Amino acid sequence: MDRVILHSDMNCFYASVEMLYHPELAGRPLAVGGDPEKRHGIVLTANYPAKKKGIKVGMALWQAKQACPDVVFVPPRMDLYLRFSRLARELYSEYTDLQEPFGIDECWLDVTDSVPLFGGGRKIAEEIRRRIKLELGLTVSVGVSWNKIFAKFGSDFRKPDAVTEITRENYRDLVWRAPAADLLYVGRSTRKKLATLGMLTIGDVARSDPELLHSIFGKMGYILWVFANGEDRTPVSPESYVNPIKSIGNGTTSPRDLEDNDDVRTVIYLLSESVASRLRDNHFVGDTVGLWVRDNGLYSFCRQQKIGTPTNISDEIARHSMCLFEEHYPWTVPIRSIGVRMSGLHPDEYCYQLDLFSDVKAREKQFKIDLAVDSLRSRFGHDSVLRGRMYFDRVLSGLDAKAEDHMIHPHSYFESGDRTGTCRIMENLQTYE
């Protein structure tokens, strides 16, 4: 018997919440994206009138203003959005305890065991859609299918305020005819590679040889083939499930463009202090440094490097991150966003081989300095202790990167997917053979 999976996606979520608190702006283009005077941030989301004028998520604020001169910007209020997200999930919990968030505004629901009580998947989806509108004042698009991938496709298929059911009878007409880019995890680079192979639609991917995809994309090729055929068996995690920590990172959109290495170094040290402090809070050291960069043309790249000695020392994380940046960024245009991440986590009592050329005593002193800074900031606030370089540019260094009230933690499909579902890809392939 097939599962019944829903994917609920709240339409233009941040903007829709803001419209509830700004009824005087009804019908006007609105975008959530920070302070246009300070140029802090980009467009996080926009309502439908703004989207019709050409405003897109990820645009710089000045670009959005050029596309739509009468757009109204409002700064993000993450505490408010988190509250509405929790209210929505409380509503979902009346139908199932198998609900897995995919970001703050999206959620998968496994309602298989609820069907005998509430009716079929489409009926449950329609009831959720109606209740979200009535009780929260927001609209949702809900996809219904027998697997998570097609359920998400369904929620994207018709917007806003709609329910789309993808069944074994209609998926070839609805899903397979859609562009390959509409499949989860087919980004710009993957789409281009698929196009060179003549695979322009999801159906083309589904009908292709999985071994060919594997030869080009590695394991991800098998995953895309399984996704396209609707054979992903990844379970929906219970609402109480907490994923183990696999990495700790932080990123920011700078209040102004970063023009040179000194600007970048200031922000990297700020982020590295946050990452190192979180590592110490959770009693971890990491042996892999990752860096994420996006310029003001919205080109982005990620790089990571394994380091010889696991660390949770802010200065070491910053120096390794800066080396990655200097090695890989050619300075073609100014930079808008940067992120620093540590992975390859081990308990902080982890035993490792010492480097012959490391100054162990100096590392111990640096670690104790970091602990002292943590203690002072916890008592007197983040700005009570700052590195000297932070005083050269108080605009760039003004963010408390560790503050939780402005942090939204994104979710990856593979956080829980690799546990029992996608790891069965080869089993799925053997079934087809």
Query: Rounded to 10 degrees, what is the CA torsion of 341, 347, 349, 350?
Result: -80
Would the pLDDT of 433 be above 50?
Answer: no
Q: 306 in a domain, yes or no? A: yes
Are residue 64 and residue 103 in the same domain, yes or no? no
Are residue 71 and residue 94 in the same domain, yes or no? no
3 state SS of 225: helix
Look up tokens 């305890």; give the residue. 97
CB under 8 A, 24+ apart: contacts of 177-184: 177/201, 177/202, 177/203, 178/153, 178/202, 180/204, 180/205, 182/153, 182/156, 183/149, 183/153, 183/224, 183/227, 183/228, 184/149, 184/152, 184/153, 184/227, 184/413
The pLDDT of residue 242: 56
Q: How open is the CA angle 174-176-182, to the nearest 5 degrees?
A: 85
Q: Give the integer Cα–Cα distance in Å for 366 and 388.
A: 16
Are residue 310 and residue 231 in the same domain, yes or no? no
CB neighbour list of residue 373: distance below 8 Å, 6 or more residues apart: 273, 385
**Residue 23: which domain range?**
13-77
Q: 221 in a domain, yes or no? A: yes
Phi, then psi, of 214 in degrees rounded to 5: -65, -35
The verdict on whether 106 is a catalytic residue reads yes
pLDDT digits (tens, 9 = 90+) for 7-64: 999 999 999 999 999 999 889 999 998 665 555 567 889 999 999 999 988 788 888 8
pLDDT digits (tens, 9 = 90+) for 288-343: 999 999 887 767 788 999 998 999 999 999 999 999 999 999 888 889 889 999 99
At 136, which amino acid appears?
L
Q: Which of 236, 262, 297 is the last residue of a domain?
A: 236
Are residue 287 and residue 380 in the same domain, yes or no? yes
**CATH number reported for the structural domain that contains residue 71 in this entry:** 3.40.1170.60
- Comparing C-alpha atoms, which of 107, 136, 142 is closest to residue 121? 142
Look up tokens 């970048």; give the residue. 264
Structure tokens at 348: 């902080």
Are residue 144 and residue 188 in the same domain, yes or no? yes
Are residue 349 and residue 391 in the same domain, yes or no? yes
Q: 425 in a domain, yes or no? A: no
Are residue 47 and residue 190 in the same domain, yes or no? no
At 150, which amino acid appears?
F
Q: Which of 62, 77, 92 is the last residue of a domain?
A: 77
Query: Rounded to 10 degrees, what is the CA torsion of 49, 50, 52, 56?
Result: -150
For the chain, the maximum distance between any two Cα atoms, rounded to a whole number of angstroms, is: 68
Q: 416 in a domain, yes or no? A: no
Would the pLDDT of 241 be above 80?
Answer: no
Which residues are paired to 100 by β-bridges?
A: 108
Given 24, 37, 90, 106, which residue is catalytic?
Answer: 106
User: Which class for 319: exposed (0-12), middle (13-18), buried (19 or more C-beta within 10 A)?
Assistant: middle
Q: 407 in a domain, yes or no? A: no
Q: Which of 189, 205, 236 is the last residue of a domain?
A: 236
The pLDDT of residue 237: 85
Helix axes 210-217, 219-228, angle to 10 degrees: 140
Would the pLDDT of 406 be above 50?
Answer: no
Split at pLDDT 50, 70, 90, the class of 371 is very high
Residue 381 or 13, more confident: 13
3 state SS of 80: helix
Report which DSSP code applies to 208: S
Q: How many CA atoms lie within 13 A of 63 on its CB side?
A: 14
Q: 113 in a domain, yes or no? A: yes
Residue 355 or 280, more confident: 280
The number of distinct structural domains making up the chain is 3
Are residue 298 and residue 173 in the same domain, yes or no? no
The pLDDT of residue 415: 57
**CATH number reported for the structural domain that contains residue 372 in this entry:** 3.30.1490.100
Are residue 219 and residue 323 in the same domain, yes or no? no
The pLDDT of residue 131: 97
Are residue 87 and residue 58 in the same domain, yes or no? no
The pLDDT of residue 411: 56
Q: How many residues does the chain have?
A: 433
3 state SS of 296: coil
Q: 403 in a domain, yes or no? A: no
- Comparing C-alpha atoms, which of 242, 246, 212, 208 is closest to residue 227? 208
Q: Is the full-model pTM beyond 0.75?
A: no
